[in-house]
Amino acid sequence: MKYLSAKLRRKWSPEQVAGWLKRAFPGEAHKQVSHETIYRSLYIQARGFLKKELLAHLRAKRTVRRSQHASLKRNGNGQSKDAVPISERPASVEDRAVPGHWEGDLIGGSKNSYIATLVERHSRYVMLVKVANKDTESVVTALIKSAQKLPRELYKSLTWDRGKELADHPRFTLATDVDVYFCDPHAWQRGSNENTNRLLRQYLPRGTSLSVHSQAKLSAIARQLNERPRKTLQYQTPAEKFAECVASTG
């Protein structure tokens, strides 16, 4: 099928391709294919350059979810004493019904290089932010600049992993009017962000320097993620879902 190779090269999973085909061609069974068929075609009949090339675009399969390697886990030392715990976050944030609530974290590379990752909970829309360093001044300054690019209605809160890189969160809130909440130690409370960090390793492998990537390059990577259909969104893309949110604010 002509769509398959193009979508896999954009790092869509076979399940995402199959779901997108159902949305794109409803009632046209001859233009649809199951993700099992795609996998079987690639793995069982992987002969020739094309199939091997497409196999390289599939995500690495893990036997155990090891989220501690997907993002920087910290013990909270140095975190601001004014941190508001996630238990005080409004219930409206938890159910994902209202857009404008984000999850964030840093991912690290070699040579002390870091990138801030942000995911909007309602749409799963991703933003990647280049940071000069992991000190709180650098991180907060970069997050402020990023937040100011969005309508106020679409950036109401930020839930962050515990760590001293956001110790100066009061400055962030003062500049953006965005409330900040912090996760409990060693807890899985930013599922969208954690999953995104794992996906990002397709583009930003562990052990490589992240400082070589410009903001333009990071934005291009985020755009690819945002244009992947998501099962949790009934195979809409985060870009489509977020565009609906933007339109509703106008």
Task: Give the per-residue pLDDT at 64.
Answer: 31
Task: Give the per-residue pLDDT at 69.
Answer: 37
Task: Give the per-residue pLDDT at 58.
Answer: 59
Mean pLDDT of 45-73: 45
Task: Give the per-residue pLDDT at 131.
Answer: 96
Does residue 212 carry a pLDDT above 80?
A: yes
Task: Give the per-residue pLDDT at 41.
Answer: 65
Task: Give the per-residue pLDDT at 16.
Answer: 82
Strands 179-182, 126-130: pairing kind: unpaired
Least confident of 49-58, 123-132, 186-195: 49-58
Mean pLDDT of 120-139: 95
Q: Using one digit for the tens of pLDDT, what is the confidence trace for 152-205?
A: 899 999 999 877 899 999 999 999 999 999 886 766 557 688 888 888 998 999
**CA 129 to each of CA 74, 137, 188, 201, 211: distance values in angstroms, whole numbers, following the listed order:** 20, 14, 22, 15, 11
> 179: helix, coil or strand?
strand
Contact 101, 123 (CB under 8 A): no
Q: Using one digit for the tens of pLDDT, what is the confidence trace for 62-116?
A: 333 333 334 444 444 445 557 888 888 888 788 888 899 999 999 999 999 999 9
Strands 113-120, 179-182: pairing kind: unpaired
Q: Which two tokens stand for residue 196?
A: 């995104």
- Residues in Cβ contact with 173 at an 8 Å cutoff, skipping those fewer than 6 apart: 179, 180
Q: Using one digit for the tens of pLDDT, what is the confidence trace for 105-125?
A: 999 999 999 999 999 999 999
**Residue 21 pLDDT grade (very low, low, confident, very high; cuts 50, 70, 90):** confident
- Greater pLDDT, 223 or 5: 223
Task: Give the per-residue pLDDT at 68.
Answer: 37
Mean pLDDT of 139-163: 92
Task: Give the per-residue pLDDT at 114.
Answer: 95
Residue count of the chain:
250
Q: Which two tokens stand for residue 223?
A: 């755009």
Task: Give the per-residue pLDDT at 129.
Answer: 97
